[in-house]
Structure formats: C-alpha cells, structure tokens
C-alpha cells in the first residue's frame, strides 16, 4: 500500500462446516459479497476500523442487505443484532476486539437453530494479520487487538460442539 493510492483488497477464504457449499447454492449472493469487498478500493490513509466498517455498511445496504437485524424477537437489547441479513445469509463484520469472537458466532447459532430459523449460513468478515500490520506500519491506523482471520480459523474447530451452523470466513488482505 502506498500513500495517496487506493488499496486493492484481496480475500482469503475459509469454509467451516461446508459453508462454501451452502453458499454455492446461492452463488449470485456469494459472488455479490465477495465483489462488494474486493471492489471497495478504500483510501488507506483513512482506513480506521470505524471508517472501514462504515464503507462496508454503505455498500451492503446499497445492495439490499438488511442493516442491523435483531437476533431475538425482543428488540430491547440493541447489542443483540447481526450486522446484515439477506435471503437467509447472516453477516458479521468482526473489526472489533477479538474477545467478541464468541458473541458474534453465537449470534449465527441462535439465528439458525433456536426456534428463530432466520439463517442457513453465517458470513464472518475479518482482516488478516498482514492487513493489520500493513495499515499500522504504513498509515498509523490502530487495529491492535482486532480479531484476525488466522485466529478465527484456528478457533473454529475447537468450537464444533457449540457452533454447528456453517460459517464462511472472509479475511480481508492487501
């Protein structure tokens, strides 16, 4: 990444519990998600976590994704929301602290099996360790403590008895 240039984003992918095969049954939506991220080309000098989150929100809402759908029918708890929902695909953007990993995965699980039956697959968008190091070193953007693609991929198999929904992990890389 160089100063003044737009960043070309690449994706690393991981399929947990056959998530990619589930998404392939809705191939147009899978491609929509991946293209939306890859075609963002953000300004790397302004790539803070909140700014990047807002870029994704604007993009997905413009593509017809429901923004901040409730996880539970009870709307009293504003933190019990997924980031996006469309045609039984739930999506979380994990740019926050890595400690939110379990909470985000439980949102997918709850929305799939706990009588809510809202989603068939979850898509979890995170950044890679390389991405975080690059924006920190070159642009002084603080991504320290953020969940990394590598950590999520490492932990998912250990959660197999609790997280039974398919999860497609997209790692944003440079």
**pLDDT tens-digit series, residues 39-89:** 998 888 888 999 999 999 999 999 999 999 988 876 676 668 999 999 999
User: SS3 for 140?
Assistant: coil
Q: Where are the alpha helices (DSSP H) in 68-120?
A: 101-113
Name the pTM for this structure. Answer: 0.94
In terms of Cα–Cα distance, which of 4, 3, 38 is closest to 137?
3
User: Which one-letter DSSP state was computed for residue 11?
Assistant: E
Q: Angle 27-38/49-62 helices, nearest 10 degrees?
A: 140
Place of tokens 């080309």: 41
């Amino acid at each position: 990444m160089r100063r003044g240039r737009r960043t070309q984003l690449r994706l690393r992918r991981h399929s947990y519990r056959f998530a990619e095969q589930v998404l392939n049954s809705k191939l147009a939506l899978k491609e929509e998600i991946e293209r939306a991220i890859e075609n963002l080309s953000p300004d790397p000098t302004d790539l803070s976590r909140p700014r990047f989150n807002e870029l994704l929100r604007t993009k997905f809402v413009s593509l017809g994704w429901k923004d901040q759908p409730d996880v539970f029918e009870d709307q009293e708890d504003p933190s019990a929301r997924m980031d996006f929902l469309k045609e039984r695909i739930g999506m979380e953007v994990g740019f926050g602290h890595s400690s939110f990993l379990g909470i985000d995965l439980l949102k997918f699980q709850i929305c799939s099996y706990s009588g809510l039956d809202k989603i068939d697959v979850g898509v979890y968008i995170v950044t890679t360790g390389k991405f975080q190091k690059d924006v920190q070193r070159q642009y002084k953007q603080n991504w320290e403590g953020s969940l990394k693609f590598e950590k999520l991929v490492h932990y998912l198999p250990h959660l197999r008895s609790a997280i039974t929904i398919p999860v497609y992990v997209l790692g944003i890389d440079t």
